[in-house]
Amino acid sequence: MYLGLGTAALGRPQYINIRQEDIPNQSIEAFRENGFKVLEKAYQLGVRYFDTAPGYGLAENLLLEWLQTKNDDTIQIGTKWGYTYVANFDVNAKIHEVKEHSLAKLNEQWEVSKSFLPALKIYQIHSATLETKVLENPAVLNRLAFLKTEYNLQIGITTTGVNQVEVIKKALDISVEGNQLFDAYQVTYNILDQSVVDIVETLSITGKSIIVKEAMANGRLFRNKKYLHYKELYTVLEKLAMKYEVGVDAIVIKFCAETIPSAKILSGASNIQHLEQNIKTIGFNIEEKEIELVKTFRVDVDLYWKERKELIWN
């Protein structure tokens, strides 16, 4: 199963995304109940990889609570460190998360994340960037190397922004005591931003774990009047969805899976209906000529991230 479940939308009520419909306000208890149901449904549908982070609000605790109901050593958990959720479920919050790539934050968040052991397989720097200099911090790198050896973990990074490839190349060059540190790379990749595709081939050849996030481009791959310059792409995706009798979301996920065959593709479903639509991606294959057509809709990376920065928390 190449589909995994990301838990950002299960752990906090707002995300940088385009909503396709209005979502009613929920109590925290109702929100938790929905998240638990989505996790269980994903498991029933065959999903065994679950991605989370302390920056995702309730997500780590919710996933840990759910995990304790299972006795299945095929379940794999990936989590991260570096972001703290601070909105406290306030829909009017000005700040939703705070980024900090310090050794102190790593140690603080590890104390919670280690509760996932032995299901915890991948531990990542959340949104590694050149600006925070986390990849140049010997104390952090040495601590991650210790955790890797002590707990038999894959250590990874997640990447965001125009310079993803540069960040990945820098991470690939990092060794601690002669051993390459980073084994897993969670990248932003989709029809619009295909910038990492060349470096991903290198990752695949060298046996690195590859995880794809934001396959839906934060909702921009669904027809939207604000993005009329994607009108031709919308038409192509909708025709493919009609041909294969699935939703556009399944086509989009299938594109990622076909173009990076070794990757796990994360569903960001926030409810069972969307999850069931996403899972349909495993039931069909797109023709090669259709994949090549969809590839032509990639956009300039600067445009992609300019548009993304204009999205709001909702």
How does pLDDT run across 114-135, given as a tens digit for each residue? Answer: 999 999 999 999 999 999 999 9
Tokens 């479940």 map to which residue?
A: 5
Q: What is the pLDDT of residues 21-65, one digit of tens each?
A: 545 556 788 888 999 999 999 999 999 999 999 989 899 999 999
The closest alpha carbon to 264, from 181, 195, 185, 194, belongs to 185
Q: What is the pLDDT of residues 102-116, one digit of tens each?
A: 999 999 999 999 999
Tell me: cis bond preceding 118? Omega within 30 of 0 counts: yes
Could you tell me the sign of the dihedral formed by the alpha carbons of 3, 285, 288, 301, in that order? negative
d(CA 138, CA 60): 27
pLDDT at residue 132, rounded to an integer: 93
Q: Decide which of 88 and 293 is more confident.
A: 293
Sequence-separated (6 or more) residues with CB below 8 Å from residue 218: 16, 17, 18, 308, 311
Mean model confidence pLDDT for the chain: 91
Q: What is the pLDDT of residues 182-207, one digit of tens each?
A: 999 999 999 999 999 989 889 998 99
Is residue 269 a contact partner of residue 198, using CB atoms and an 8 Å limit? no
d(CA 241, CA 146): 47
CA distances from 259 to 22, 97, 218, 244, 292 (A): 33, 32, 19, 18, 10
d(CA 38, CA 278): 12
The HSE-up count of residue 22 (CA atoms within 13 Å, CB side) is 2
Helix (H, G, I), strand (E, B) or coil at 174: coil
pLDDT at residue 223, rounded to an integer: 94
Q: What is the pLDDT of residues 3-21, one digit of tens each?
A: 999 999 998 775 545 544 5
Q: Which two tokens stand for residue 27?
A: 């109590």
Could you tell me the sign of the dihedral formed by the alpha carbons of 275, 2, 74, 126, in that order? negative
Is residue 189 a contact partner of residue 290, using CB atoms and an 8 Å limit? no
CA distances from 242 to 128, 253, 289 (A): 39, 15, 17
| Angle between helical axes of 272-279 and 28-44 (0-180°, round to 10) | 20
The closest alpha carbon to 159, from 305, 10, 13, 9, belongs to 305
Which helix (H) or strand (E) segment is 171 a member of?
helix 164-172
